[in-house]
Amino acid sequence: MNESRNLTHEAARGLSWSGTMLLARILLNVLVTAVLARLLSPQEYGVVGAAMIVGALGNSIANLGMSQVVIQRRDIEERHIGTVISLSMVIAAILGLLQWVFARQIADFLHVPELVLVSRVLAVMMVANAFNLVAEAILSRHLKFKISSIAGLAAWIASHVGLAIPLAYLGFSYWALVVAYMAEAFILASIYFFIARDYLVRPSFDMQSYRDIRRQSLGYSLAGISTFTAKYIDNIIVARLIGTAELGIYSRAYYLIAMPATLFGNLNKSVVFPLLSKVHHDKARLRTAHLKGFALTAALALPSSAFLCCFAKELVLTVLGQQWMDAVTPIIVFSAAIYFRAGYRVCAAVTLATGRSYRTASMQITYMALVASFAFFSAPYGVNAVAFAVSGAIATSFFLYAAISCRMTGLSALDFALVHVPPVAFAAMVFATGSAVKMLLAEAPDYLVLATGLMAIGTLSVVTLYLRASLLFGKYGAEVLQSLTSKKTK
């Protein structure tokens, strides 16, 4: 009982700190995006979007899933951590060298000539990213959510606010974002090196330590590579079959709407996954945590989807500007799929926490195959068609994964359905309220319509939470909310 109570409070503290930092980052991200969207064109964003595909692939391979083993494995010694650090750094260095050598072939494959020099510059930060993954995993294992969250936010602010905006204003084009991404990686590595020094060990390879973690880490690695492919395969298809400017439109729409799902996904990775890893042997507690995860995610994601679907046009004109009007339809489509993306992460947290890395990998491969096939066959019909197809693939993958994870924890289909009823009902109220605001302010400026809608729906949410939180969060979500607001947790 005491252990369960302590973990509940750890979860509450971790969620509150990580959630607050991530929410602050999202709000700042919207402001920075609003500025940069007026300084950079869709074509320039398309170049950077293609470069990020290359960098993300290297990051997913370099770690070989070892950082997740650091979190999940019950018994881990210094020799294991030393082996993980040394292997990650060596593999990252090799991949960075390969990215430098084959930069021209990468640019030709994606049909983005500017990518030759950009890929070679970004190859330099491969080692820093590998170190950051391991350091974050070590801090998460020790439940140091607060300092990890603050470090990530500080590095992002320094790089994007301090560098990206001034450089874009001075006319550095897409190089403003390239420099910002590099700076963020090295600043974060410096912060992690300082704050995690008590937990880090000297890099040293030990064959027995690698044998101890090899099987599990390869499963996580396979899952990570599949996740990368599923996340970026549609961008690759858009770049090759449609064009760089269209990739800029598509990637910005996806990125803007992915922020809420990224928030929930990062919370799952940095807080929920480490905590579930400590109780994965207790099926009853795991089942309850599974329900709470769905309840919280649905309560946050579904109303967000309703709001964004309602105010997509006003959001684009206010945040991005007139030149991004082609992003309205993709934003509406991606908004409708926010919960499916976020709920998928809840299912993944369960399979990862129980150490079933190959089950996770098989689901990620299925997800990748669905996204790739749907995107490929819809590409001839344009960016909007790809957005519809990819959203359909995400929804299909979620329901498949939910069925598997519910069977693992013993969660019944009825309980799964009932936990979604309050959020769905509240989301309908949000959409109705937003539609009413748009009708009343039909002739008003877009920014005023958006601000009024945000205020009206915010008021509705606060009143609902004050009167009866379960109307939005349901029974299980309200229990977590109560833990978050309890005196001891504060």
* The pLDDT of residue 252: 77
* The pLDDT of residue 317: 87
Torsion angles phi and psi, residue 301, rounded to 5: -80, -45
- Of 142, 170, 100, 401, nearest to 278 by C-alpha is 142
The DSSP call for residue 160 is I
* The pLDDT of residue 435: 92
- What stretches in the chain show pLDDT beneath 70? 1-23, 57-75, 142-145, 210, 213-228, 259-283, 353, 355-358, 471, 473-490
The DSSP call for residue 445 is -
Task: Express each pLDDT in 259-277 by its tens digit.
Answer: 666 665 555 554 555 555 5
Q: What residues contact 19, with CB distance under 8 A and at least 6 apart?
A: 263, 267
CB neighbours (10 Å) of residue 385?
A: 17
* The pLDDT of residue 487: 43
* The pLDDT of residue 161: 87
* The pLDDT of residue 490: 41
Calculate the dihedral angle through the C-alpha atoms of 199, 205, 208, 210, rounding to the nearest 10 degrees: 80
CB neighbours (10 Å) of residue 375?
A: 22
* The pLDDT of residue 433: 92
In the chain, where are the structural domains located? 2-484
* The pLDDT of residue 395: 93
